[in-house]
Amino acid sequence: MNLRLLPLLLAAAAPACTGPRPEAPAATAVVAPPAWRTALGPGEPVRADWWAAFGDPVLTGLVERALTNNPDLGAAAARVEEARAQERLSRAQLLPQVNVAAPGSEARALNPFGIATTNTGAQPAISASYDLDLFGRLRQANAATRAQLLASEGARDTVRLGIASSVASGYITLRALDARLAVARDTLASRGEALRIARRRAETGYTSNLELHQAEGEYRSTEQLVPQAELAISRQENALRLLLGETPGAIVRGTALTALSAPSIPDGLPADLLRRRPDLFQAEQSLVAADRSLDSLRAAMLPNLSLTGSVGLVLSTALSNPVGVFSLGGSVLSPIFDGGRLRAQADAGAARRDQAAFAYRKAALAAFREVDDSLAGVQRSGEQAVAIAGQRDALAAALRNASNRYRAGYSSYLDQLDTQRGLLTAELALVQARADRLTAYVALYQAFGGGWSQQDVERVSR
């Protein structure tokens, strides 16, 4: 190929790639820290100690078991390995390609005297080819696969963070169900005592059978709460075992719900903690990959220059000495008319890049919302728990007064019955409020991409 034709081919292909480079939509701008994610480096792992802030070694052990055995995390790690192999394959396209060939041949013929002759020969050769990649088509494609690798690592960390959060939330829910079961059993015991008193009073003729039947109905109503809570506990244990990657079975208990620590949240946590969110990193790298793929598609419209060469030997019984041969050449491939295929591919790449940009903006806005929702959840659920605790204490005092008045004959059984029902409702609501508050802490850790360190707290304090 005459390399002097290269300028002409470049000029012929120039109209196919004229026009400004399509930019990302202006709507993708997000109010975020200026050094979004980059200061921490790509693929930073999720913090591995935030669940220890609840002060329960059993919870810590469950999370670690889940991060070791969960099949979803194993599948995510396998996808990372696949992306890593794709990146190596793309990087190999930038290197020269060398092939070795050693064909052999054998020919038989008859000479004029009718004697058969055999002629053997071989032409071993080494050939090499190299794409000069003048306009960065291969380099941009490799950059796209590298960004896809980082995005897959972000997806893996997202799964990891989700598993840890699910285990922590599931364990808190399990301890809340244990507390509900304890409330149901304590209430059943008190209702059993009330039923015993009502039966004795009815048998002595002090009261009518109406109070006896009311007490028995209230006892049966509370009795059904026990198997209901036990069923919920069994299902929650199986759900946790699934997260652990294990067969259904019991879960070892640790700290009670009321004894779990509420992590301290410093005022004014820096917004750049959101850079630790792996889903944002994944969306960012997906945008980078789409942008680099667009560059590669646009570079495909330009001429492509390749160099080829071969070196070999000719060996034959007809030759007294081997004969060395070599060749060196170049080829230029330039798209002149392809029916608009390359232009359509570039337009599709630009559309995919715009989709990734909007997806990144959506992920960033969702991150801000989740943090704000989690902070509000921690604060409001705590206020709700305090209010319900006050209600529970007041109803407990009212039940004592109603029980004393009923035994002394100053009030009817209905006063005691109404107070018992109100106290049971308040105790169950208090258990749920405490669980919701701790679950809100888990959601806050997840929203911040794995929590905050003591250094972050000290920086805020200064």
Per the structure block, which two tokens stand in for 376? 């509000």
- CA-based Rg of the chain, rounded to a whole angstrom? 38
What pLDDT does residue 96 have?
Answer: 73
What pLDDT does residue 100 have?
Answer: 63
The angle at the Cα of 302, spanning 297 to 308, to the nearest 5 degrees, equals 105
The one-letter amino acid code at 87 reads: E
What pLDDT does residue 31 have?
Answer: 38
What pLDDT does residue 455 have?
Answer: 65
DSSP character at residue 43: T
Positions of the chain with pLDDT lower than 50, given as ranges = 1-48, 313-319, 323, 325, 462
Length of the chain: 462
Residue with tokens 């801000």: 368
What pLDDT does residue 226 have?
Answer: 93
Mean pLDDT score of the chain:
75
Buried (b) or exposed (e) across 381-416, using 16+ Cβ within 10 A? Answer: bbebbeebbebbeebeebbeebbeebeeeeeebebb
Integer CA distances (angstroms), 177 to 163, 166, 169, 174, 342, in order: 21, 16, 12, 5, 61
Q: What 3-state class would DSSP assign to 30?
A: coil
Asked if 276 contacts 452 with a C-beta cutoff of 8 angstroms, the reply is no
What pLDDT does residue 235 have?
Answer: 94
Q: Dump pLDDT digits (tens) for 48-97.
A: 478 888 888 999 889 988 988 888 888 888 888 888 887 787 777 767 77
Q: Dump pLDDT digits (tens) for 359-412.
A: 888 888 888 888 888 888 888 998 999 999 999 999 999 988 888 887 777 777
What pLDDT does residue 386 have?
Answer: 92
What pLDDT does residue 210 have?
Answer: 84
Per the structure block, which two tokens stand in for 451? 């929590």
Domains and CATH numbers, the chain: 1-30+96-132+302-334 (2.20.200), 33-94+136-300+341-461 (1.20.1600.10)
Integer CA distances (angstroms), 441 to 190, 196, 262, 372, 445, in order: 34, 44, 8, 12, 6
What pLDDT does residue 130 have?
Answer: 60
Residue ranges in 328-452 assigned as alpha helix (H): 341-408, 413-447
The one-letter amino acid code at 142 reads: N
Integer CA distances (angstroms), 398 to 212, 407, 408, in order: 22, 14, 15
What pLDDT does residue 179 have?
Answer: 94
Closest of 116, 63, 256, 121 to residue 175, by C-alpha: 256
Q: What 3-state class would DSSP assign to 317?
A: coil
Asked if 233 contacts 250 with a C-beta cutoff of 8 angstroms, the reply is no
Phi, psi for residue 14 in degrees, rounded to 5: -60, -45
Integer CA distances (angstroms), 131 to 14, 303, 370, in order: 20, 11, 48
pTM recorded for the entire structure: 0.75
